[in-house]
Amino acid sequence: MADTDLHIPIDRTVGNPFVENPRMTCRDVFVHYGDTCAINKVSIDVGCNEVLAMIGPSGCGKSTFLRCLNRMNDTVSGCRVTGDIRLDGMDVYDPGVDVVPLRARVGMVFQKPNPFPKPIYDNVAYGPKIHGLARNKTELDEIVELSLKKAGLWKEVKDRLSEPGTGLSGGQQQRLCIARAIAVSPEVILMDEPCSALDPIATAKVEELIAELRTQYSIVIVTHAMQQASRVSQRTAYFHLGNLVEVGPTELIFTNPKHRLTEDYITGRFG
Ligand SMILES: Nc1ncnc2c1ncn2[C@@H]1O[C@H](COP(=O)(O)OP(=O)(O)OP(=O)(O)O)[C@@H](O)[C@H]1O
């Protein structure tokens, strides 16, 4: 870490935050809660078929930034987002954009598994139904089966599809939530600490799943577990006090960070 620079300002991103052929582009994004600035002029791309990990100390703005990507912050009172965020070139914040299909294209998996208190089948079928993705019951059945297969859950639940999703184990519930996100054919899946409520075995399964899902989707994952970031992601972005301090290939961020703040965080000096 000899070339770590102590003098780089915190609000200038170290590393190249942009990629060729991005799925999403974010430019000069600010987020305020009332008068408080939670995200300070962040620019970054989300590539196709990549897992982008967002790390940083508690309160640095990771979740806030993640929620900008599918306008989940719209529902937070006092939250104001400015800047330019695009999905395949479409301005996500254009007043003409309907957030319901947007949130299907940019799906979200939360920290705590949150299946609907309904049968496993209905949990997965609900989205395709409301988005009109199946013309009949056979097509709906196919989507449900395929989504559960992609989420690595089919074998465990195929004989109990009519049982409540809430009756599954925590890890199974999280994979059910991933199946629910997949069922509406997303392009991007946002994951906000998806394993923090899971035991190590369930965590390993979800991490394996993330690696498989990358072949078809772009994934942005917020995690406090740095080993998880290094296991699952190709690029890592380090946030500090609302600033995107450093971004780069995951291996480099963890072995040769350029910014002192990144180095302090990954070596456990704070955070
Ligand atoms: N609904 C809200 N109203 C006001 N301030 C908020 C709200 N949500 C977040 N904040 C503030 O915005 C800043 C960023 O919070 P955020 O939850 O995005 O950080 P984080 O990096 O995801 O934290 P953690 O790792 O603890 O989840 C913090 O100062 C937080 O207090």
Q: Is the CB of 38 under 6 A from ligand 1?
A: yes
- The answer as to whether 175 is a domain residue is yes
The four Cα atoms 110, 113, 119, 123 give a dihedral, to 10 degrees, of: 10
- The answer as to whether 261 is a domain residue is no
Overall number of domains in the chain: 1
Give me the pLDDT at residue 10, please.
Answer: 82
Query: What CATH number did the domain enclosing 217 receive?
Result: 3.40.50.300
Residues 83-105 have a mean pLDDT of 97
Give 45-86 pLDDT, tens digit per residue: 999 999 999 999 999 999 999 999 999 999 999 999 999 999
Q: What gap in Å lies between CA 23 and CA 247, rounded to an integer?
A: 17
Q: What gap in Å lies between CA 47 and CA 205, rounded to an integer?
A: 24
- Which residue out of 64, 75, 238 has the highest number of ligand 1 atoms within 8 Å of its CB and is therefore the one to mutate? 64
Give 197-218 pLDDT, tens digit per residue: 999 999 999 999 999 999 999 9
> ipTM for the complex?
0.98
Q: What gap in Å lies between CA 89 and CA 203, rounded to an integer?
A: 34
Arithmetic mean of pLDDT over the chain: 95
Give 117-129 pLDDT, tens digit per residue: 999 999 999 999 9
- The answer as to whether 52 is a domain residue is yes
Can you give the residue range of the structural domain that contains 158? 23-244
- Residue bearing the CA closest to ligand 1, atom 27: 58
Cα 32 to ligand 1 centroid, rounded to whole Å: 10
- The answer as to whether 255 is a domain residue is no
Cα 7 to ligand 1 centroid, rounded to whole Å: 27
Reading the block at residue 214, the tokens are 């990358």
What is this structure's pTM? 0.95
Q: Is the CB of 218 under 6 A from ligand 1?
A: no
Atom of ligand 1 nearest to the CA of 63: 22
- The answer as to whether 3 is a domain residue is no
Give 34-48 pLDDT, tens digit per residue: 999 999 999 999 999
How many Cβ atoms sit within 10 Å of the Cβ of residue 148? 27
